[in-house]
């Protein structure tokens, strides 16, 4: 019996996000709006524990930035905090630096990828209130 897996289907849009606060709100509304316009969308359904940040697992989140057209949506956070890696982003990177002392080049690649993504033209949720 043949089966079709999501990774083999063609998708026009891949929605990647973290957190229950966006899963049942913004992300699901965006997903449905895209589908209503006949845009093939895939919504990342990987769940993190409450309080986890996107940078808790940067290898999952940032590696693909090099291979896709990215339109960042800054939902509930100002882009400059992401760009300058302040607040929770600074804390997360400090933990990565401590944990990966012997692999600082990898941490620096993640920093660069995140900064590059944050410098892209995108949307800020404050524009839509």
- What are the pLDDT digits (tens) for 39-48? 888 886 655 4
Which residues belong to CATH 3.40.50.10140 in the chain?
Answer: 53-129
Q: What is the pLDDT of residue 109?
A: 92
| Under 8 Å between Cβ of 46 and 59 | no
Interatomic CA distance for residues 44 and 7, integer angstroms? 11
Asked if pLDDT for residue 82 goes beyond 60, the answer is yes
Interatomic CA distance for residues 25 and 41, integer angstroms? 16
Looking at residue 67, the DSSP 8-state letter turns out to be G
The pLDDT-based confidence of 105 (bands split at 50, 70, 90) is very high
Asked if pLDDT for residue 108 goes beyond 90, the answer is yes
Mean local confidence (pLDDT), 85-99: 93
- Sequence-separated (6 or more) residues with CB below 8 Å from residue 33: none
Interatomic CA distance for residues 124 and 129, integer angstroms? 10
Q: What is the pLDDT of residue 97?
A: 94
If DSSP codes are grouped into helix, strand and coil, which group holds residue 109? helix
58-75: pLDDT as tens digits? 555 555 555 667 788 887
Interatomic CA distance for residues 74 and 71, integer angstroms? 10
Interatomic CA distance for residues 40 and 35, integer angstroms? 6
What pTM does this model have?
A: 0.57
53-129: CATH number: 3.40.50.10140
Q: What is the pLDDT of residue 91?
A: 93
Mean local confidence (pLDDT), 106-113: 91
């Amino acid at each position: 019996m043949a089966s079709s897996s999501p990774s083999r289907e063609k998708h026009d849009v891949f929605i990647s996000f973290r957190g229950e606060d966006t899963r049942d709100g913004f992300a699901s509304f965006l997903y449905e709006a895209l589908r209503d316009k006949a845009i093939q969308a895939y919504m990342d359904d990987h769940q993190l524990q409450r309080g986890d940040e996107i940078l808790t697992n940067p290898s999952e989140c940032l590696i693909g930035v090099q291979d896709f057209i990215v339109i960042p949506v800054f939902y509930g956070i100002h882009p400059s905090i992401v760009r300058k890696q302040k607040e929770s982003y600074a804390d997360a990177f400090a933990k990565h630096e401590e944990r990966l002392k012997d692999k600082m080049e990898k941490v620096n690649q993640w920093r660069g990828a995140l900064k590059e993504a944050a410098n892209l033209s995108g949307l800020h949720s404050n524009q839509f209130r």
